């Protein structure tokens, strides 16, 4: 961080909007929006209860709000974010949690695209897409029993059943619950 740095200490609670032309280090709790022109770092013990906007954002703690970085957003191990993340570059480390949309691209919200000059510089051969190779003749697929199959006529053919099995998720695994002694006795009486 630069010499012009503000620190919100570990035992400090800020309620309201934080703005400025500084780098900010959040060690404590901020219940309000943060909008700075510098870097923002939310420490592992730091908590922010609203959106954060800055040049480069590094999160090790928790943020409940959107993260908007002009250059980059870095979510390190232990970061917990409930909100959308937008920046030209976004890095999410293993062990970080994000609940929301992650959007990368140019700062104006549009995804990064090649400019016309870059597209013109590419050779024409690379721009063309070759047609797909012809498909080999389909071989009959042996019938496969699908658990929980609907039994429709489309699924009764071997090929249709294999295709349906490929699209269908596996059945959920439910742990067996132990029955209470009273339930076993009632079942025996029936």
User: DSSP for the chain?
Assistant: --SSEEEE-TT-EEES-EEESSEEEE-SEEES-EEESS-EEE-TT-EE-S-EEEEEEEESSEEES-EEEEEEEEE-TT-EEES-EEESEEEE-TT-EEES-EEESSTTSSPP---HHHHHHS-HHHHS-PPPPPPPPPPPPPP---TT----HHHHSHHHHHHHHHHSPPPPP-PPPPPPHHHHHHHHH-
What is the value of pTM for the model shown?
0.55
114 & 145 share domain = no
78 & 16 share domain = yes
Output the average pLDDT for the chain: 74
For residue 103, the model assigns a pLDDT of: 92
Count how many domains the chain has. 2
84 & 142 share domain = no
Q: For 48-96, what is each residue's pLDDT tens digit?
A: 999 999 999 999 999 999 999 999 999 999 999 999 999 999 999 999 9
pLDDT at 126 over 80: no
Domain end point (choices 129, 148, 170): 129
Q: Is residue 187 part of a domain?
A: no
Q: Is residue 81 part of a domain?
A: yes
């Amino acid at each position: 961080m630069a010499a012009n740095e503000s620190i919100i200490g570990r035992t400090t609670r800020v309620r309201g909007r934080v703005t400025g032309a500084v780098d900010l280090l959040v060690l404590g709790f901020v219940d309000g929006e943060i909008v700075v022109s510098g870097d923002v770092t939310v420490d592992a013990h730091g908590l922010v209860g609203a959106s954060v906007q800055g040049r480069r954002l590094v999160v090790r703690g928790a943020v409940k709000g959107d993260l908007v970085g002009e250059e980059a957003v870095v979510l390190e191990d232990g970061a917990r974010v409930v909100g959308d993340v937008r920046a030209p570059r976004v890095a999410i480390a293993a062990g970080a949690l994000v609940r929301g949309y992650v959007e990368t691209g140019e700062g104006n919200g549009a995804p990064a695209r090649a400019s016309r000059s870059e597209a013109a510089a590419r050779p024409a051969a690379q721009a063309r897409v070759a047609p797909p190779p012809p498909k080999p003749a389909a071989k009959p697929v042996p019938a496969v029993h699908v658990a929980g199959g609907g039994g429709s006529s489309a699924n009764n053919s071997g090929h249709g059943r294999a295709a349906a099995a490929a699209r269908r998720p596996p059945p959920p695994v439910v742990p067996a619950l132990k029955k209470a002694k009273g339930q076993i006795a009632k079942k025996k009486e029936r």
